[in-house]
Amino acid sequence: MSLRRHLVAIVLGLTACREPSTGPEATATTADITRDETAQFQTDSLAYTLSASNIGYVGTIGVTFVNRTGATVYFVNCGGGTSLSLEKRVDGNWQLAWSPILLLCLSPPITVAAGATYRTQISIFGAYPNSNAYPRFFVEDVAGEYRAVWHSVLRTYDSSSSSFGEPLPLDARISNRFAIAVQPR
């Protein structure tokens, strides 16, 4: 069985082992979050609830990238998996909260022409904080205000370069803000 099939089997197994919620489902609030229409990465919602499983939280965030740069944009990827992280606002600062595990390969770049859109999903599995499972959440209290940050979105692409090209500025690689709530364990 290939590595990819093993990973898919593990993720599906973890998802299938999810225990039903015993209390009322937590819901995220958007009271203090307004959509930043200028962000090139836009989430489908301003609020998401992650389901609790035996060892972590599971959820999906739909995202659309609208290329308003005036030139083609390139996403470095491995089989469609792109380097990103979720950051949580903690005491007014953005802090790394979660990042997926990615396979180590180099697929042809995902290209998005000027004015075009690219639709993707962030599939979240994050083990509980302070556990020995990965990927895991790095913040003790997972619920809160978040943004997604893409790390390898480029203005130019050169597979022979160690950096693969010139990155877009950070503000062009950040999503709008959104809330995450979690089901009780």
- Residue 2 class from Cβ within 10 Å (0-12 exposed, 13-18 middle, 19+ buried)? exposed
SS3 at position 5: helix
Apex 128 CA angle, 105 and 76, nearest 5: 20
Cβ pair 131, 56 in contact under 8 A: yes
Evaluate whether 162 touches 49 at the Cβ level (below 8 Å): no
User: What confidence score (pLDDT) does residue 161 get?
Assistant: 86
Phi and psi torsions of 34, nearest 5°: -115, 150
Domain residues of the chain, as ranges?
A: 3-182
Provide the 8-state DSSP code for 3.
H
- Give the per-residue pLDDT at 185: 83
**pTM for the structure as a whole:** 0.81
Quick one: pLDDT at residue 4?
Answer: 43
Can you read off the two tokens belonging to residue 11? 């993720």
Sign for the pseudo-dihedral over CA of 13, 84, 184, 51: negative
58 forms beta bridges with 51, 125
Question: Which pLDDT value is given to residue 7?
Answer: 39
Which two three-digit tokens encode residue 60?
Answer: 């999906």
Mean pLDDT in order along the chain per 10 residues (185 residues):
40 38 40 88 97 96 97 96 97 97 94 97 95 95 97 94 92 97 91
Other Cβ atoms less than 10 A from the Cβ of 101: the count is 9
